[in-house]
Amino acid sequence: MDELDGNGAAGLLQEIFGTDMTVTAVRCASCGAVAPIGEAVVYAGGPGTVIRCRSCTSVLVVITQIRGMSCVDMMGIAALPHARSFRCTTMRVSSTRELMSSLRNAWRR
């Protein structure tokens, strides 16, 4: 597997979230470190793309793409900015539209 910084996943994240996620700061659920995804460690080239916390190496996000579907597992992220009460849990979605509606529902709570 190739080790990259978070910018190595920029294109993939842009494709899924429709926005530049590398400048988005996230809080690691394991150690509490807050850092932009662009500073995380990305392992690409395996069956999926794994984004790990640079501080504690815990998994933040796993993205797998199977037959054109993107599965995004964000259970390693405790918080995203601009979402006061947002808590990530495991999300498995089959399309960008489904993902965005999951996020919108989570933000509304």
C-beta separation of 43 from 3 below 8 A? yes
Give yes or no for residue 31 binding Zn ion (CB under 5 A). Answer: yes
When the beta carbons of 28 and 42 are compared against Zn ion, the nearer one is: 28
74: contact with Zn ion by CB under 5 A: no
SS3 (DSSP) at 29: coil
Name the phi and psi angles at 106, rounded to 5. Answer: -65, -40
Max intra-chain CA distance, the chain: 38
Q: Does 51 bind Zn ion (CB under 5 A)?
A: no
Count of residues that interact with Zn ion, criterion CB under 5 A: 8
Q: Can you tell me which of 1, 23, 34, 56 binds Zn ion, judged by CB under 5 A?
A: 56
Binder among 13, 40, 42, 53 for Zn ion (CB under 5 A): 53
Shortest Å, Cβ 33 to Zn ion:
5
Buried b (16+ CB within 10 A) or exposed e, 68-91: eebbbbbebbbbbeeeeebebeee
Interacting residue with Zn ion among 7, 24, 30, 64 (CB under 5 A) = 30
Pick between residue 26 and residue 63 the one whose CB is nearest to Zn ion: 26
CB of 30 to Zn ion, least distance (A): 5
The number of residues in the chain equals: 109
CA atoms within 13 A on the CB side of 22: 15
